[in-house]
Amino acid sequence: MRGSPKVRAAALVAAGVVGGGVLAGTLSATAATGTGTTTTPSTSGYSATAAGAPAGAAPSSGQGRSDETPVTGANLATLKAAALKAVPGGTVDRVETDSGDAAYEAHMTKSDGSHVTVKFDKSLAVTSVEDGMGK
């Protein structure tokens, strides 16, 4: 590019502004149309983050297993409250049925960043708190 260093610097800044505007416009359009990496409604026990993962979830926690179903409604509220009581200061990442040794499970992130799974019986009572995101 010919011209003074000031002209070249101004051209680079302008190119960055245009590129940033295109990126911002694309992200805004995706958010407006709901066609991005998305999110499951919060009533299912999940909530969104900018990257599309459940809020507070470990990147590896994903959306759960295909043979487990997100919990909704009154049971969701009850299980979340019990999980938070069992793991004070934690964040509930998702609540779902359990295809393993419990009726339900809540995947959580503790305040120190580690992950646990709170297991429940059919009566929605906590039966155990296991390290990690479940077996």
Strand partners, 116: 108, 131
pLDDT tens, residue order, the chain (135 aa): 566 666 666 666 555 555 555 444 544 444 444 444 333 333 444 433 333 334 333 333 445 677 789 999 999 999 999 999 999 999 999 999 998 899 999 999 999 999 999 999 999 999 999 999 876
Q: What are the helix and strand counts (H, E) for the chain?
A: 2, 4
Strands (E), 27-114: 91-97, 104-109
Looking at the whole model, is its pTM more than 0.75?
no
Strands (E), 1-135: 91-97, 104-109, 115-120, 126-131
The encoded tokens of residue 79 equal: 């299980």
